[in-house]
Chains A and B, each alone.
Chain A
Amino acid sequence: MFELYGSGDPVTLKLVICLEELSLPYRFNSLDLQKLEHWAPAHRALAPQGAVPVLVDGTRVMDDAAIALLYLADSHPEANLLPAGPADHYAVQASIDVLDAALLASVNLIGWHRQQPAEARAAFTAALNAVPGRQTAAGWSAVWRDAESDRLQRAAEKLDGGVARIEAALGRGPWLVGGGPTAADISAFALVETLPALLPDSIDPGSTPRTWAWLERMRARPAVRRALTSAARGGAPRYAPPQ
């Protein structure tokens, strides 16, 4: 029995879809990120820096979800979610890394802004800044303190670049890598599946026909259907607030 600690956010959805695809038993433990439950002592015992989601397999605690997805795929080679051939194996990992970099922060930022009114966001940020022992950004992101409107604008542009990469990859075949669905499809689907509702211009049958058809193909999979109606998703998507 796996324990999954998460919310209805895109990254939690990746692991839920993967667990469902592999028919693995799991218990979902819901965290309300807006209430900072991921920074409460109980969760920090698993993930000292408030990472969400966390996957626990017996005594193995995994707070890096992108890698935990590969862990699940590696543990069940028969499902072919991570192809054995070195070049396709690389392509799956590269697709996950590139699309995470292009899409994840942007989707969460835009979704969170849409979901939370300005006062709630300000209250959240104040509470987050008061969390003891929280590491703040020390890289370049700490230098670029753009105005909020600039950040949203840049996020939307970045997001278009990510969708363009998906559309281009699907020009080579029905799935992102190789001849069948892989962890790359699961990862990318979880990031963009709410975009048609969130930003209708970003994915539509006219401008991104291949991505549109691929979303339909993914949604038709029984495991994906189960994931989208699971307790983890709770019907409505949620987005992760800033870390």
Chain B
Amino acid sequence: MTQDPAAAGRPAVYTWEPNSNSGKPLFVLNEKGAAGDAIGFDYHYVSLPDFEQHAPEFLAINPDGTVPALVHGGRVFTESTPMCEYIDAAFAGASLVPSDAYSLYRMRSRCRRTDKAAEALSVIGWHLFLGPMVRSKPPEEMARLIARIPTKERQISWQTASQATFSEEQLTNARARVGGYVKELEAELARSPWLAGDAFSLADILTFANFYALPGGYPEFATESFAPHVLDWLRRIYARPATAKTFGMARSIARRAFDIARGLGSPMAEVAHV
């Protein structure tokens, strides 16, 4: 049970962009190493639009075919939220997890509520980006990609998803749910500077990983009258060096994130290759 993380070697992260679940370990590793020595890690890019999460090379790492996957000390970690607690505990650096039991409850409960709200974000995201990309693939190519999905249950899900188009009502409902959650975050941030209390924690990082693009995708909720504390919270997180560093590692979403940060009046330091 006791382990020596220092002897466990350089971590490897297999994931897509710093976005939603995919982004969680990237943001957390960079935050963890922000105050002292940076944590060096290998970032293996897994392209979700190309279904690389179901390719044999990745299934050899995570047989479930989901990103992110973290490999460290001979172990593979595949559940994105507990994985971040592991990173906090296994590496030296700033503490991102509160130590008293009730603050921990608040932090974990917030992470789960964000994951739940992210389902509504993913409906909109599918409608705008991923769905059209998937539907543009030839049917025989799609059939081949679905056939290699490891579980029958997820094959059925992808089969349904690949043809899914949402009704206006479903999209309106999903947007309303996003707005409802922004209001919930607003109430929380009116009470305390960070989502689990006085200290910046995984609750902030993981919620930011899902909501960093709020002003771009949902301008009606990103206003000073609707959610001033949420906007201030976004600015404070965009201003963190680890945030700029993480978006600097992105391939396809970086430009959007840098534009949003500038629009908020909290520009990130540009990273050379963006």
Name A's B-contacting residues (CB within 8 A). 57, 60, 62, 64, 66-68, 70-71, 74-75, 83-90, 93-94, 97-98, 135-136, 138-144, 154, 157-158, 161, 178-179
B164, A135: Cβ atoms closer than 8 Å: no
Contact of B79 among A84, A86, A98, A154 (CB under 8 A): A98
Closest CB in chain B relative to A228 CB, distance in Å: 26
Closest CB in chain A relative to B166 CB, distance in Å: 7
B151, A93: Cβ atoms closer than 8 Å: no
CB of B1 within 8 Å of the partner chain: yes
Tell me the bound Cα distance from A90 to B174 in angstroms: 32
Tell me the bound Cα distance from A139 to B175 in angstroms: 11
Complex contacts, B75 vs chain A, CB 8 Å = 87
CB of B252 within 8 Å of the partner chain: no
Given A94-B78, A161-B151, A138:B119 Cβ within 8 A? yes
Contact of B177 among A66, A138, A141, A157 (CB under 8 A): A138
B86, A89: Cβ atoms closer than 8 Å: yes
Complex contacts, B108 vs chain A, CB 8 Å = 64, 67, 70
A86, B5: Cβ atoms closer than 8 Å: yes
0/1 interface trace, chain B 70-88, chain A, CB 8 Å (1 if under): 0001010111011101100
Closest CB in chain A relative to B6 CB, distance in Å: 12
A60, B102: Cβ atoms closer than 8 Å: yes
The chain B residue with its CB closest to the CB of A180 is B1
A90, B82: Cβ atoms closer than 8 Å: yes
Tell me the bound Cα distance from A175 to B16 in angstroms: 34
Given A71-B102, A94-B77, A140:B3 Cβ within 8 A? no
Closest CB in chain B relative to A69 CB, distance in Å: 10
The chain A residue with its CB closest to the CB of B173 is A138
Complex contacts, B180 vs chain A, CB 8 Å = 135
B90, A64: Cβ atoms closer than 8 Å: no
Given A93-B79, A94-B78, A86:B102 Cβ within 8 A? no
Tell me the bound Cα distance from A5 to B259 in angstroms: 47
Tell me the bound Cα distance from A157 to B78 in angstroms: 22
CB of B2 within 8 Å of the partner chain: yes
